[in-house]
Amino acid sequence: MSDFRIGALEQLAEQVRFAPPGIRQEQMERVRALLEQVRPGRTYPYQFVHYRITNHRTDEYPGLLIEADDLRHDLGRFLDRLAQTLQTGLELPTEPWLTLAEVSRRLAVSTKTVSRWRKHGLIGIQVMQHGRRQLMYPLSVLERFVAEHPEQVERGRRFSHLSHDEKKEIIRQARNLANFGGSLTDVSRRIARSLGRSPETVRYTIRNHDRRDPHQAVFPNMSGTLDPNAKLQIFNSYRKGMTVETLAKQYHRTRSSIHKVINEVKAYRLLSAPVDYIYNQEFDDPSKAAEILGPMPDEEGFQEQLRSKKVPKDVPPEMAHLYEYPLLTREQEYHLFRQMNYLKHQLHLLQSDLDPRRARSQDLDRIEELQAKINFVRDRLIRCNMRLVVNYAKKHVGPSDNLWELISDGNMSLIRAVEKFDYSRGNKFSTYASWAIMKNFARSIPDEKSRRERFLTGHEEIFESRADVRTDEQEQLAQAEQAAGKINHLLDILEPREREILRMRAGLDNEENLTLEEIGKRLGITKERVRQLNVRIMKKLRDYVAEHRIDW
């Protein structure tokens, strides 16, 4: 999912990343300057933002207005994108550059304080120094930031040290406020305002106290471990659209700990199913990787046949879908089976080295990427061989047999055959699959006839002539699952805050639907603002449904 709130700004970030390095550095300076000038409560036209960043005017998105909060968020992401593109091969100018630790010592503030100044325009750049990446700050940028933000720098110096009495006062106030149900973040902000300290300093003092003295902790849940049920609830709530910030408040945790829980549960789920594949020695040869992962032989011809969808005239309409995918040649078949098993081998290696408790997001994303590629190749092999199942089902169907039941049963045999076929032996897959399908029919058809004969009543013609008005529980479950899938698909197009508003407003997740005023209190915005966002969300969903012709 995108980390931008405004799609137009993400699109612009993708465009400017292909500019020469010198131009990108200039654009970073423009973005940093614009970020400092954004004022809360205002809206900014996209065309104005585009001009400030690129120094060129555009006709795109003429009516798009961006709220200050969204603009500040996306400009920060914009700077990250530009900084990442300048990591490799970036030559440092002759002016002095300072590391994060050197900036901290020079200004007599903590490294966390320096990092927080990033949103105010002090942006470091990841550069290669002595063979490793390091966050560096140009001296001229640092001096300009200090000159433009003297009060902020001075306040950061004051916040660096707390006396023993000040710490005791922070803990005393925090304990009183926590008794009224305040979260760590809310309590830290209120104490910071009353004592003239930064929220981060107060939060750190409280958390440090709780770690040193867990029996007298202000927020005891912060130091305890979550049970498996709580972790599963956090993961499911996140999947349904609840933001990390909301979950952190609900469970009295930091955002980083919530991210860690989500990754842990996700890792256990991804690792729960073992990988079954046919190993080959060439999988360990790095020089073979490009050939194995490349397109299969005559991929263009395959795609052309796929687009044409030529169906013979004598094929019944209900079986026309079998001809959407063309038959594979021996070479194409060999390539796809080798590719599928190679991807499974890579997945197996990644899973073997992964500790769910220390899973990184990039590793989990890589596992999901491999699983998606495996499913794509497997589906192509299955679809291209489904005609084989129909041919054998027609040969084995009897007067009292149901052809579609045989086809469904044969498809299961085909799927198992795709998983078990050893391509390295040089045999054609149709030979192996035919044997598996016929063996399954030889077992399942007599069993079905025996079952029917055992429960024969002599009045089957009466039962067959009557309409079946019974409720099919499986059909109801399938319909409910299909409806839930449509809902989740629509929710995926919304931003996290939009999903959370819709979830509370519509009463999803077995919760009561909240009023606009109640939603506003939870999100810290006005009732009118919630109403405006709700109208925008519903219009967005209606437009998407109409554009994609979704049967809703």
Quote the Cα angle for 495-501-503, to 5°.
100
Helix, coil or strand: residue 67: strand
User: Quick check: 280 and 338 in contact, CB under 8 A?
Assistant: yes
Per-residue model confidence (pLDDT) at position 90:
47
Using CA atoms, how far apart are residues 200 and 136, in angstroms rounded to an integer?
23
In the chain, how long is the greatest CA-to-CA distance?
98
Q: What global pTM score does this model have? A: 0.45
Could you report the per-residue pLDDT of 463-501, keeping only the tens digit for each?
Answer: 455 555 545 455 555 565 566 566 666 777 778 778 788
Q: Which residues sit opposite 43 in a β-bridge?
A: 67
Distant-in-sequence, close-in-space partners of 19: CB < 8 Å, separation ≥ 6: 27
Q: Which pLDDT does position 104 carry in this prediction?
A: 79
With H, G, I as helix, E, B as strand and everything else as coil, classify residue 98: strand
Signed CA dihedral, 503, 507, 511, 514: sign only: positive
pLDDT at 207: 83
One-letter amino acid at 184 equals L
Instruction: Give the whole-angstrom CA distance, residue 399 versus residue 434.
Output: 23
CB atoms within 10 A of CB 544: 14
Taking a C-beta distance cutoff of 8 angstroms, is the pair 137, 122 a contact?
yes
- What pLDDT does 44 receive? 92
| Length of the chain, in residues | 552
- Residue-level pLDDT at 88: 46
Q: Where are the alpha helices (DSSP H) in 354-472?
A: 361-384, 386-396, 403-420, 429-454, 460-465
Element of type H or E holding 45:
strand 43-45
Rounded Cα–Cα distance for residues 511 and 233 (Å):
14
Question: What contacts 24+ positions apart, CB below 8 Å, involve 132-140?
Answer: 133/87, 134/99, 135/99, 135/100, 136/92, 136/97, 136/98, 136/99, 137/97, 137/98, 137/99, 137/100, 137/103, 138/93, 138/95, 138/96, 138/97, 138/98, 139/95, 139/96, 139/97, 139/98, 140/95
Closest CA to 118 of 185, 186, 24, 28: 28
Distance separating alpha carbons of residues 275 and 271, to the nearest angstrom: 9
What's the CA gap between 433 and 243, in Å, rounded? 47
Report DSSP letters for 305-359, one per residue.
HHHH----TTS-GGGGGGGSSPPPPHHHHHHHHHHHHHHHHHHHHHHHT--GGG-
Q: Of all helices (H) and strands (E), which one includes residue 287?
A: none
The DSSP element (H or E) to which 77 belongs, if any, is helix 68-85
Give the H/E segment covering residue 167.
helix 164-178
Beta strands 65-67 and 43-45, pairing class: antiparallel
- The full DSSP string for 119-154 is GGT---EEEEETTEEEEEEEHHHHHHHHHH-HHHHH
Locate tokens 């933000």: which residue? 149
Per-residue pLDDT at 549: 65
d(CA 292, CA 335) in angstroms, rounded, equals 7
Which pLDDT score is estimated for 401?
66
The segments of the chain whose pLDDT lies below 50 read: 1, 88-91, 463, 470, 472
**What pLDDT, on a 0 to 100 scale, did the predictor assign at position 334?**
92
